[in-house]
């Protein structure tokens, strides 16, 4: 699943570690999501959406 995590993070000038701490996950998890290797669960997707203040569908794109 494609996502705009890297772009949104760069806009806020956050490091992967910083974002990981805000999301309460490991830096590797943030990296995996950004690379499209790992799709987060719904609770984590909601946390991501809240951290960036945007709806989930504007961050994640399932291509449908």
Site for another protein, rule CB under 8 A: 24-26, 28-29, 31-32, 35, 37-38, 40-41, 44
Q: How far is the CB of 26 from another protein (least distance, A)?
A: 5
Tell me how far, at minimum, the Cβ of 17 lies from another protein, in Å: 12
Long-range pairs, 5-13, Cβ under 8 A, ≥24: 5/30, 5/33, 5/34, 5/48, 5/59, 6/34, 8/52, 8/54, 8/59, 9/34, 12/52
Q: What's the closest the beta carbon of residue 6 comes to another protein, in angstroms? A: 15
């Amino acid at each position: 699943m494609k996502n705009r995590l890297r772009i949104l993070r760069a806009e806020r000038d956050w490091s992967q570690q910083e974002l990981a701490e805000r999301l309460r996950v490991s830096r590797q998890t943030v990296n995996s999501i950004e690379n499209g290797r790992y799709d987060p669960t719904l609770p984590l997707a909601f946390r991501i959406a809240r951290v960036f203040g945007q709806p989930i569908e504007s961050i994640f794109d399932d291509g449908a």
